[in-house]
C-alpha cells in the first residue's frame, strides 16, 4: 500500500537520477559546442533549437502524460533522451554541420518534454490520493535539495572526467545513467490518484485534453499571467547558466580548465540545496506566495547586472551563489502556486503549457543574448539579460491582482479539484488574447 512517505521517496529517487544524468554535461555543454567548431551565435542558436523542440513537443507529450499515463511518459523520456544524447556525441566526433546540431537539439528537447509536467503531476496527484496534508513547498524543497546534491556531484564529476579524458565521455555516461533510470522507474513508479484514459481515440483524447487545458489553464487569468512571465525569465535563466561557463574560463585565464567551468553548475547546485531548505521558511514569511516571487525576481535581475559588470573571478562566483539561491528558493513556491490553480485531470498538460512558455522564451532570448556576447562580450550580455527578465515583473503583479486562493493556500491540492462551470454558449468575457483588466486600486505589493 502506497503512503505519502513512500511517494515522496520515489519522487526523490527520480529527481536524483534525472539531475545526475543531466548535470554530467551541464558544466561543459557550451564548451562542448564551441569545441565542435560552433561560434557563440551558433552554440546558443543550437540551444535555442533545443528549447524550440520543447515548445513544439511540450503539449503533445503533456497530452501523452494525461492520457497514456505519467509513468509511461517518464519511461519514454528516459529512452528518447539517452539515444539523442549519444547522437550529440556522434556529431561532436564527426565535426558535423550546424543544421545537424539543430535537428538533434530539437530531439533532445523532445526527450525532456516527456519529463516536464509528468513527474510533477504524478507527485501531486499521488500525494493527494494518499492523504498528504503538509505544505507542497516542503516536498518541492526536498526535491531541490536532493537535486542540488546530485547536480553538485554530476557537474563536478563531468568537468573532471572531461579534463581527464575528453569532452565526449560525460555525454556517454549520461546516456548510461538514463538507461538505469528507465529500469528504476519501471519497477517503482505507478500512477495514483489518476486513471490513464487508454483505449480511446488518440485524436479525440488530444482534442479533449487540449480543450480542457486551455479552458482551465490559459483562460484562467492568474495562470495565464504566470505563464506569460516565463516568456521573459525562462530564456534568460537558460542563457545565463550556459554563458557563465566560458565567461568564468575567460575570467580565470585558462580556456581548457574544464573543472573551473564545472564550478558554475556546482555553485548553482549548492545554492539549489540551500534554496530548497529555505523555501518553506521563505513561504512562511509572506502571507501570499506572489510577494515572495516578486521580490525574488527583482533581486535576481540585480544580481545579473553585478555579474555583468564585475570582472573579479571570485566576486563573480559569490554573486552567482546569490543568483542561484534566489532562483532555487522561489521555484518551489511558484510550483505550489501553479499546482494549486489547476485541476488534476489536466495537470500534466497545463504544467507542460507553462514549461512551453519558458522554452519559448529561450527560443528568442538565447540567440539575441548570444549575438550580444559576440558583439559586446559576455558581461554586457548579462546586463541585457537582466533587462529582459525585468519585463516579467508586471505579469507576476497581474497574477497577484487576481487574488486566487492558491496564493494563500496550504497543503497539497486535491486529487481532482472542483472545476468551474461550463462557459455559456455566448462568451461573457473577452477572449484569452484580450484578458479582462485587473481590479482597480489593487497594489502589487499590498500585504
Digit-coded pLDDT (tens) for 173-199:
999 999 999 999 999 998 888 777 665
Report percent pLDDT > 70 for the chain.
86
Among 244, 268, 241, smallest CA distance to 152 is for 268
pLDDT score recorded for residue 203: 67
| CA dist list (Å): 210 to 157, 293, 312, 390, 414 | 41, 28, 49, 31, 21
CB 177 within 8 A of CB 17: yes
Place of cell 536532493: 146
CB 171 within 8 A of CB 25: yes
pLDDT score recorded for residue 201: 60
Instruction: Give 42-100 pLDDT, tens digit per residue.
Output: 988 898 898 788 878 877 787 788 778 889 999 999 999 999 999 999 999 998 999 99
Mean pLDDT calculated for residue range 191-219: 71
Instruction: Give 278-297 pLDDT, tens digit per residue.
Output: 777 777 788 888 998 999 99
Instruction: Say yes or no to pLDDT of 211 above 50.
Output: yes
Angle in degrees, CA 350, 353, 356, rounded to 5 = 155
pLDDT score recorded for residue 205: 64
Cell of 422: 461550463
DSSP for 402-435, written as a single string: T--GGGT--SPPPSS---PPPPPSS-SS--TTSP
pTM of the model: 0.66
Instruction: Give 216-252 pLDDT, tens digit per residue.
Output: 777 889 988 998 898 888 889 888 887 887 898 888 8
Instruction: Give 290-325 pLDDT, tens digit per residue.
Output: 998 999 999 999 999 999 999 898 999 889 888 888
Cell of 212: 480542457
At 104, the pLDDT band (50, 70, 90 cuts) reads very high
Q: What domains, with CATH codes, occur in the chain?
A: 4-191+209-407 (1.20.1250.20)
Amino acid at each position: 500500500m502506497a503512503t505519502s512517505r513512500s511517494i515522496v521517496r520515489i519522487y526523490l529517487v527520480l529527481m536524483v537520477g534525472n539531475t545526475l544524468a543531466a548535470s554530467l554535461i551541464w558544466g561543459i555543454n557550451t564548451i562542448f559546442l564551441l569545441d565542435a567548431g560552433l561560434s557563440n551565435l551558433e552554440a546558443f542558436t543550437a540551444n535555442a533549437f533545443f528549447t524550440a523542440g520543447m515548445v513544439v513537443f511540450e503539449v503533445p507529450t503533456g497530452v501523452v502524460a494525461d492520457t497514456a499515463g505519467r509513468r509511461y511518459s517518464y519511461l519514454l523520456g528516459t529512452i528518447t533522451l539517452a539515444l539523442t544524447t549519444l547522437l550529440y556525441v556522434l556529431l561532436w566526433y564527426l565535426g558535423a554541420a550546424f543544421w545537424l546540431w539543430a535537428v538533434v537539439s530539437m530531439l533532445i528537447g523532445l526527450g525532456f518534454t516527456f519529463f516536464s509536467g509528468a513527474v510533477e503531476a504524478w507527485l501531486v496527484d499521488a500525494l493527494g490520493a494518499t492523504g498528504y496534508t503538509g505544505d507542497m513547498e516542503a516536498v518541492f524543497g526536498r526535491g531541490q535539495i536532493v537535486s542540488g546534491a546530485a547536480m553538485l556531484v554530476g557537474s563536478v564529476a563531468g568537468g573532471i572526467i572531461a579534463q581527464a579524458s575528453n569532452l565526449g565521455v560525460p555525454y556517454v555516461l549520461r546516456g548510461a545513467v538514463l538507461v538505469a533510470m528507465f529500469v528504476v522507474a519501471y519497477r517503482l513508479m505507478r500512477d495514483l490518484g489518476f486513471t490513464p484514459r487508454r483505449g480511446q481515440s488518440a485524436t479525440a483524447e488530444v482534442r479533449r485534453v487540449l480543450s480542457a487545458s486551455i479552458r482551465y489553464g490559459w483562460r484562467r487569468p492568474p495562470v495565464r499571467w504566470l505563464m506569460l512571465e516565463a516568456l521573459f525569465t525562462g530564456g534568460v535563466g537558460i542563457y545565463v547558466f550556459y554563458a557563465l561557463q566560458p565567461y568564468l574560463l575567460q575570467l580565470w585565464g585558462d580556456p581548457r580548465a574544464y573543472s573551473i567551468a564545472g564550478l558554475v553548475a556546482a555553485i548553482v547546485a549548492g545554492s539549489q540545496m540551500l534554496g530548497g531548505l529555505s523555501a518553506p521558511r521563505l513561504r512562511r514569511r509572506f502571507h501570499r506566495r506572489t510577494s515572495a516571487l516578486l521580490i525574488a525576481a527583482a533581486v535576481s535581475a540585480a544580481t545579473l547586472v553585478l555579474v555583468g559588470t564585475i570582472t573579479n573571478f571570485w566576486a563573480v562566483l559569490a554573486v552567482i551563489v546569490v543568483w542561484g539561491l534566489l532562483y532555487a528558493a522561489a521555484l518551489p513556491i511558484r510550483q505550489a502556486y501553479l499546482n494549486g490553480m489547476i485541476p488534476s485531470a489536466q495537470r500534466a498538460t497545463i504544467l507542460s503549457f507553462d514549461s512551453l512558455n519558458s522554452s519559448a522564451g529561450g527560443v528568442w532570448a538565447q540567440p539575441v543574448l548570444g549575438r550580444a556576447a559576440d558583439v559586446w562580450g559576455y558581461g554586457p550580455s548579462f546586463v541585457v539579460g537582466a533587462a529582459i527578465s525585468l519585463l516579467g515583473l508586471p505579469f507576476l503583479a497581474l497574477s497577484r491582482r487576481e487574488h486566487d486562493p492558491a496564493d494563500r493556500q496550504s497543503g497539497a491540492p486535491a486529487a481532482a479539484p472542483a472545476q468551474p462551470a461550463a462557459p455559456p454558449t455566448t462568451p461573457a468575457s473577452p477572449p484569452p488574447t484580450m484578458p479582462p483588466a485587473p481590479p482597480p486600486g489593487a497594489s502589487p505589493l499590498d500585504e
